[in-house]
Structure 1
């Protein structure tokens, strides 16, 4: 009988959803036209036409077919895609009063629009207004206090890790950003591993092709015991909240003991009443969300930099010349920014060429509107499609080509003076539009300039095949500071094999059916990053359980499918092997990193030793006990 009731609930929810969507009709006011776009199928719309890989390129293709603003139905929701910077400004900036809300994200436990937890995801309301005021305050303080030395400090540890373990470059770059952001948020770097995990789990929760609850929203209305996807999200939410509270409590204690470093949390606690927050928890989230936002996005352009330099080595040589001339034998600092226009051009072109958020962060239209004779219905989800905006041929001639000179030569539309200030990533379209513009732009700029500049100061980077004709190709480093070889760097397939060893310690070991039925899946980028597979947190436990052999066969079939997809992508364009979640980053690839000057490497290792002895580089802290809280109420979720 219980099973019958459960099935009845499922059928009712599905039928009600389908009926609502089938009976919905868009009313076009007289004198206006419906936006063009793909027709799609009944109920599901154009969902089936969107590829699993590089979906933003499909949206860009439709933009060329239907025009710079078009709409499509995705499972009953109206999505409007904008491929023009001018149209994005006309609507999202100039009409910000009706275009500044955010769409609902079904997979989150609390409503992102008014929970007060995630400033970038909130709708325009009182919570959003006061938290933006706080964000403006801490960012202004960041620009005029000692915060700016954090990237320079952590770049020493970054280079040391790359000298010793270059094959872990993805992990090193993400750790660099997480450590800097942890220092900004709480004054110390020990929370970096936890911050990365919080970012990974939240990224899955907010990505359309991440958490299952974003595809089957009705699952979030069921009890936790009936919806493992909802249970996963609840644990993620509770762990995140407790982590933010712990960090705030630690800073408060350090402040009472007169030993707290400068941080966003200390700024909040010094003047909490000035922001009219509802309490300490809102303040903890206001800080923690900025930490997560930084950890999510800034490492991706650093990884793209490695990709670009391997495929366009002529620009790395030019970058070396500039950094050597300006910095000599000392590491780059933020104060060098005016003298490093080519480094800034590289960074600006990296973000344009492979934007970290290619689909843009969506806006939500609160009332009917029109544009150039076209009707835009209320409730539309508006996407400033950054992949297309950054490829406008009138602004970016030959847009598919990586060319940092477009920012430095007067013959290009993007050239600006003075070169002591331009090029800059500040106020670029990647940071959003109107009232939703990202407030952490100066933090991003500082991290990228110091991080990428430091890597270029010490290393050369070359694709593995660039050494194929050399009889003296190095196979392993002869010392920690000579040649760093990526012979052991994992390809996407090899990474999945590494990940599979977490399931099967050897070929004869058996798969854990319990783990797989709880939603465990492999990654397609690296073992330290969020899964980009749509079933990353799918909860098959709610459905008939399969045998061990069936699960293992399905797992291996997925691996083979991904291998073939990857081979096809690599043949077409190896620089387009990217993850699939909202924040897109390059999948690991094989390349070699060579120390340019051993005396520089020796100096880095010496500085690392000095800072370690001074207590600056402490190990990451664990918050949830053994195995990061596996099986406990709070802890790391499967990603």
Structure 2
């Protein structure tokens, strides 16, 4: 066959001396372009490892350009869900299957978790920005060891110790509300950051200033903003071209260096204390750096494990408390129901006490309210992709290995009756105390957020206390659909006031009893 083609070309060379060179060039260009297309073919369009053709759900017309990956042809995630329980999108050389219903998420992410447990390459966000050390976007083989050591967060002893700290930091936050209620949004972030720093690092590595908190918040914002920002994250094989041609590298490397230096500023003082035996209890001392843990990573791996817990724990808790505040403005009747439940358990006026974590079993409406906060305005409209490590057959579909499955958090949150309404009652089903039951904001399967129980307890204690003690009213025009959750300043206009003098006294007396009142007074100078 090859001889026939060669002889044909030789004959054409003499018969068509003018056209022949153009034909050869055109053929070469076409062959080169076809080879490029094949090399960058989306994962979902490839054959399975046994040669079976892929069979994928419907979706918008595929697009291999970065522009299409950043802007869906049909608009919002809810619109994409109109294709059915699953929607196929070809983004660069990646294929995403949006999972738009609880049922398919449970089937593919939960029940088939052993097959959908890795991530696709992200040369910018994972490589250059995170130095291949942020476990949330690492492939399975690099993630597993980090996951193993993070299970220390789930022990009963740890949860009891951490619970004491959560209650203390919450009391401090309530005292901050007494002194400066207009800075409610800063108090939310101060609490969220302080409690996860205390859990992770023990003694704070330094006195946190507003600039320090903003830098940590920016680290999260910059990292999330780097995901999918450059074309190489959508065409990972471009990372194999000669370094001199990778013009995107210097910018992202500088961001990665800034991130590394910020982490070091927070982590290194505690690391030194652990090494010289002066560190107090913490996740770093008692688990990460404990010799019995036998962590296989290096010192930088330890630092990134610790600091990503701080990033995730501080930012998401802050955003969830801000969403709760918005719900209090929009649904004062719901907030009143939550307050009535707390009053029934904790007393009213001069006879009241602050709720504690031990009250979780007898405050189911507060627990349901925490779940509804995350459903009503999901912090994560899309969850990180779960990539198939093997070919998967599912209900007539055939997904080749390398296909990514993405939880469509926005659409799944709408999969209920009257979804636009904030209604905690929808969660009063006996699973109120399990915030991950029926809710996918913490991910699912084997890669579910390991600290979700800590997050639940932080939300519970603060929602209960804020419902008990604080009145919220609008302080200007706002839109409940436009929550600027990334804002350092006030995300929407709120007037927060103490419920009464009795609750002001209650908060200050409790703050004095546990020894945080003087610290708050020193911060705000006077009552």
- Do both proteins adopt the same fold according to a TM-score greater than 0.5, normalized to the shorter chain? yes
Instruction: Report the CA distance between 1:444 and its aligned residue.
Output: 0.6
What secondary structure, in the 3-state scheme, does the structure 1 residue paired with 2:115 have?
Answer: helix
Find the counterpart in structure 2 of residue 357 from structure 1.
Answer: 380
Post-superposition shift, 1:461?
1.2
1:152 to 147, 151, 167: 167
Residues 175, 520 of structure 2: 8 Å contact kept: no
Shift of 1:22: 8.5
Matching residue of 1:173: 188
- Following the alignment from structure 1 to structure 2, what is the Cα–Cα distance between the partners of residues 305 and 242? 33
CA distance in 1, matches of 2:151, 2:266: 20
2:140 — aligned with what? 124
1:10-59 per-position Cα deviation (integer Å, ceiling 9, x unaligned): xxxxx9999447863724565763321101456457447439xxx9x712
Residues 1:424 and 1:245: Cα distance change in structure 2 (over 3 Å): closer
- The alpha-carbon deviation at position 200 of structure 1 amounts to 2.8
| Residue number in structure 1 paired with 2:297 | 278
Residue 594 of structure 1 is matched in structure 2 by 497
Give the TM-score of the pair, scaled to structure 1: 0.66
Deviations 1:521-561 (A, max 9, x none): xxxxxxxxxxxxxxxxxxxxxxxxxxxxxxxxxxxxxxxxx
Distance 1:306 1:21, change over 3 A: farther
Match of 1:577 in 2: 482
Give the corresponding residue for 1:233.
255
Aligned equivalents of 2:318, 2:62: Cα separation in 1: 36
**8 Å Cα contact 2:484/2:491 also seen in 1:** no
1:275-424 mapped onto 2 (5 Å cutoff): 275-328=294-347, 329-392=352-415, 396-408=416-428, 415-416=429-430, 422-424=432-434
Name the structure, 1 or 2, with higher relative contact order (CA <8 Å, separation 6+). 2
SS in 2 for 1:72: strand
Aligned equivalent of 1:80: 97
1:198 Cα deviation (Å)? 3.2
Note if contact 1:186-1:251 (Cα within 8 Å) is conserved in structure 2: no
CA distance in 2, matches of 1:424, 1:95: 21
Deviations 1:129-182 (A, max 9, x none): 232221112321554542211121111221232233333222221111000001
Deviations 1:577-629 (A, max 9, x none): 14598xx999811122221121221342354456247779997xxxxxxxxxx
Change over 3 Å in CA distance of 1:141–1:348 after alignment to 2: same
Residues 281/577 of structure 1: CA separation in 2 closer, same or farther (3 Å cut)? same
CA 1:575–1:227 in 2, change beyond 3 Å: closer, same or farther? same
Q: CA deviation at 1:425?
A: 0.8
TM-score (norm 2): 0.79
The aligned residue for residue 183 of structure 1 is 198
| Matches for 1:375-524 after TM superposition, within 5 Å | 375-392=398-415, 396-408=416-428, 415-416=429-430, 422-427=432-437, 428-464=439-475
Deviates most, 281-290 or 332-341:
281-290
Determine the structure 2 residue equivalent to 1:107: 124
Give the C-alpha shift of residue 219 in structure 1.
9.6
Give the whole-Å Cα distance in 1 for the aligned partners of 2:134 and 2:354: 36
Q: Deviations over 1:77-98 (max 9, x none)?
A: 2221001222112222222233
Equivalent-residue separation in structure 2 for 1:87 and 1:326 (angstroms): 39
The structural deviation recorded for 1:71 is 0.8
1:152/1:67 Cα in 2 relative to 1: closer, same or farther (>3 Å)? Answer: same
Distance of 1:23 and 1:438 partners within structure 2: 32
CA–CA distance in structure 1, aligned partners of residues 353 and 362 of structure 2: 15
Tell me which residue corresponds to 1:137.
152
Q: How large is the RMSD of aligned CA atoms in angstroms?
A: 3.7
**Superposed CA offset, 1:490-537 (max 9, x none):** x8xxxxxxxxxxxxxxxxxxxxxxxxxxxxxxxxxxxxxxxxxxxxxx
Q: Are the equivalent residues in 2 in contact too, given 1:156–1:604 (CA < 8 A)?
A: yes
- Unpaired runs of 5+ residues, structure 2, are 1-31
CA deviation string 1:337-387 (max 9, x = no partner): 111111111111111111211212221223332322223233222211112
* Distance in 2 between residues matched to 1:363 and 1:337, nearest whole Å: 33
Q: Which moved more, 1:212-221 or 1:607-616?
A: 212-221
Cα separation, partners in 2 of 1:580 and 1:73, compared to 1, 3 Å: farther
CA drift at 1:289: 2.1
CA distance in 1, matches of 2:297, 2:366: 43
Q: Which has the larger radius of gyration?
A: 2
Q: Tell me how many residue pairs correspond in the alignment.
A: 474
Residues 219, 259 of structure 2: 8 Å contact kept: no
Determine the structure 1 residue equivalent to 2:27: none
CA distance in structure 1 between the partners assigned to 2:261 and 2:381 by the alignment: 29
Task: Check whether the contact 2:361–2:433 (CA below 8 A) recurs between aligned residues.
Answer: no
Please point out which of 265, 270, 277 is paired with 1:256.
277
User: For residue 605 of structure 1, what is the aligned residue in structure 2?
Assistant: 508
Q: Distance in 1 between matches of 2:521 and 2:356?
A: 19
State the distance in 2 between where 1:269 and 1:579 align.
Answer: 35
Question: For residues 473-500 of structure 1, what are the alpha-carbon distances to aligned partners after superposition, in whole Å with 9 as ceiling and x for unaligned?
Answer: xxxxxxxxxxxxxx6xxx8xxxxxxxxx
